[in-house]
Amino acid sequence: MTAVIETEGLGKRYRKLWALAGCTLSIPAGHVVGLVGPNGAGKSTLLNLATGMLAPTTGTIEVLGNRPAAGPAQLARVGYLAQDAPLYAGLSVADHLRLGAHLNPGWDAELARRRIERLGLDPKQKAGTLSGGQRAQLALTLAVAKRPELLILDEPVASLDPLARREFLQDLMEAVAEQEVSVVLSSHLISDLERACDYVIVLVDSRVRVAGPVDELLATHHLLSGPRRDPGSLPGGLQVISASHTDVQTTLLVRTSGPVFDPAWAVSEVGLEDLVLAYMKQAARPVPGNNHRRLEVQK
Amino acid sequence: MIEFHLDSRSGVAPYRQLIHQVRHALRLGLLHEGDQLPKVKDVAAGLAINPNTVLKAYRELEYEGLAAARPGIGTFVTGTLDGGSLAAHGPLRRELQRWLVKARRAGLDDESIEALFASTFRSASEEDIA
């Protein structure tokens, strides 16, 4: 199966600042991918490279096996919803649907009509007078009704209240179930995406820290706690993601392919939110100056 | 038709929660052989969860022999977990209710009742094994 997004050494520089660097990814089709990272991590840059609105400084990117925005056919295969659901404030809901029908060859008018009806939007209402949640729903309708193979959503729920957020995600999951569309959506909060995503990419400081199917990530990360010890004395094959010590106890979040047998450690499962936060925290640490802070264990 | 719910604070993976709820409904006789499970699309939309999560739960139930998918129609219950004991549930429940009334009269609060039940249950199971 073709990857929905495949990048190799992808980077984007604005003047002296690298917004994205050394990004190598292969995202398989059929997933809902959560792109998570703090503000300014490079999420929007990566998404804009995927839509073809930005050109890479280094490396390559392919979307659905083609160069992003290579032509009308490629544009029709990708739906994109930019941050804050941009709409034309002076145009009505019906105007937006007409616009969508004119601009998109594969437009599904019946789908768009049904969704607007179910959302209870008045076709005559101007977009500028809709609530934040309604605007997001209308923008999602436009992106879904063009029947894309890949839907890219940049911070779709960030500005929504909790109820509108839930409704938006319910709506999105229904579209995924109905149309078998692949989705990449970004957020600075994993908790927003935890139920919806089955694939996660953590991006911090312009670099990909970890990426993979959620099941696989949860199966290969464990929380170890036990009597205090030097991380250097750990067995091989363990990669320490985060470590905290009290005077008597050490707690580690590790990545490992096999089970942990050492009886000195109490092993417990780790949730997705803790896992993502550990990678964010790891990235936020200053460059290690001595071996104690360099926590990657090698043998 | 049963309706799923999710506890996001439980720490239990969502697909496990769905499996547990189906098994629970089977044990209590809320679901019977031939009943249809909620459609994947409806569960995904209702709970705002990934459709793959629902599919994974249903596949696991199929593997356990409790459900079967009919392509294009849905997933149906094919097994049972009550072990033919469903008829005994009513009388047992009434006995348990009488016992609960007695426990409250003796001054036990909810937590004490749960603790007493759990510890009795555990020591009884241990005796069974021994």
pLDDT digits (tens, 9 = 90+) for A229-266: 776 677 677 888 888 888 888 888 999 887 777 777 88
Cβ distance of A177 and B45 shorter than 8 Å: yes
Instruction: At A209, list the tokens.
Output: 């820290």
Distance in angstroms (rounded) separating the CA atoms of residues A91 and A246: 60
Cβ distance of B44 and A177 shorter than 8 Å: yes
Contacts of B122 (CB under 8 A, 6+ apart): none
Instruction: At A97, list the tokens.
Output: 């649907």
pLDDT category at A292 given cuts 50, 70, 90 is: very low
DSSP sequence for A52-67: TSS--SEEEEEETTB-
Share of chain A above pLDDT 70, in %: 93
Poorest-confidence range of A30-34, A117-121, A280-284, B17-21?
A280-284
B17 interface with A at CB cutoff 8 Å: no
Cβ distance of A173 and B14 shorter than 8 Å: no
Neighbour count for residue A110 (Cβ, 10 Å):
9
For residues A196 and A151, the answer to whether their CB atoms sit within 8 Å is no
A173 interface with B at CB cutoff 8 Å: yes
Question: CATH 1.10.10.10 spans which residues of chain B?
Answer: 14-77
A194 interface with B at CB cutoff 8 Å: yes
Contacts of A281 (CB under 8 A, 6+ apart): A242
pLDDT category at B98 given cuts 50, 70, 90 is: very high
pTM of the model: 0.81
Q: Residue A193 has what pLDDT?
A: 83
* Nearest alpha carbon to residue B58 among B45, B86, B77: B77
Q: Determine the residue of chain A that is closest to B15 in CA distance.
A: A195
pLDDT category at A83 given cuts 50, 70, 90 is: confident
Is residue A4 over pLDDT 70?
yes
Poorest-confidence range of A50-59, A61-70, B119-128?
B119-128
> Under DSSP, is residue A18 helix (H, G, I), strand (E, B) or coil?
strand
List the single best residue of A31, A144, A160, A173 to mutate versus B (max B Cβ within 10 A): A173
Is residue B11 over pLDDT 80?
no
CATH classification number, B14-77, choose in 3.30.1490.190, 3.30.565.10, 1.10.10.60, 1.10.10.10:
1.10.10.10
Distance in angstroms (rounded) separating the CA atoms of residues A84 and B92: 57
Predicted ipTM > 0.85: no
Instruction: At B101, list the tokens.
Output: 């009334």
Count contacts between A and B (CB, < 8 Å): 50
Q: How large is the average pLDDT for residues A271-291?
A: 73
B46 interface with A at CB cutoff 8 Å: yes
Q: Where is B68: in which H helix or E strand?
A: strand B67-70
Q: How large is the average pLDDT for residues A283-295?
A: 46
CA distances from A195 to A45, A71, A198 (A): 25, 34, 8
Is residue A287 over pLDDT 60?
no
Overall size of chain B counted in residues: 130
Q: Residue A231 has what pLDDT?
A: 67
Q: Compare CB distances from A174 to B13, B14, B41 and report the shortest one's residue.
A: B41
Per-residue DSSP letter, A92: B
Poorest-confidence range of A263-267, B25-29, B63-67?
A263-267
Contacts of B116 (CB under 8 A, 6+ apart): B103, B108
Stronger pLDDT, A213 or A228, i.e. the higher one: A213
**Domains of chain A and any CATH numbers:** 3-205 (3.40.50.300), 216-284 (no CATH)
Cβ distance of B47 and A195 shorter than 8 Å: yes
Q: Which amino acid is residue B51, in one-letter code?
A: P
pLDDT category at A158 given cuts 50, 70, 90 is: confident
Q: Residue B94 has what pLDDT?
A: 92
Cβ distance of B50 and A271 shorter than 8 Å: no
Alpha-helical regions (H) of A52-123: 72-77, 93-103, 109-119
| Main-chain phi, psi angles of B22, to 5 degrees | -70, -45
Is residue B127 over pLDDT 80?
no
Strand partners, A60: A8
Q: Residue A230 has what pLDDT?
A: 73
What SS3 string covers chain A?
CCEEEEEEEEEEEECCEEEEEEEEEEEECCCEEEEECCCCCCHHHHHHHHHCCCCCCEEEEEECCECCCCCHHHHHHEEEECCCCCCCCCCEHHHHHHHHHHHCCCCCHHHHHHHHHHHCCCCCCEHHHCCHHHHHHHHHHHHHHCCCCEEEECCCCCCCCHHHHHHHHHHHHHHHHHHCCEEEEEECCHHHHCCCCCEEEEEECCEEEEEEEHHHHHHHEEEEEEECCCHHHCCCCCEEEEEEECCCEEEEEEECCCCCCCCCCEEEECCHHHHHHHHHHHHHCCCCCCCCCCCCCCC
Share of chain B above pLDDT 90, in %: 58
Neighbour count for residue B111 (Cβ, 10 Å):
8
Is residue A1 over pLDDT 80?
no
Alpha-helical regions (H) of B4-109: 14-27, 40-47, 51-63, 86-105
Contacts of B11 in chain A (CB under 8 A): 269, 271
Q: Determine the residue of chain B that is closest to A165 in CA distance.
A: B48
Is residue A135 over pLDDT 50?
yes
Q: Compare CB distances from B45 to A173, A194, A197 and report the shortest one's residue.
A: A173
Q: How large is the average pLDDT for residues A277-294?
A: 61
pLDDT category at A102 given cuts 50, 70, 90 is: very high
Q: How large is the average pLDDT for residues A11-23?
A: 92
For residues A57 and A11, the answer to whether their CB atoms sit within 8 Å is yes
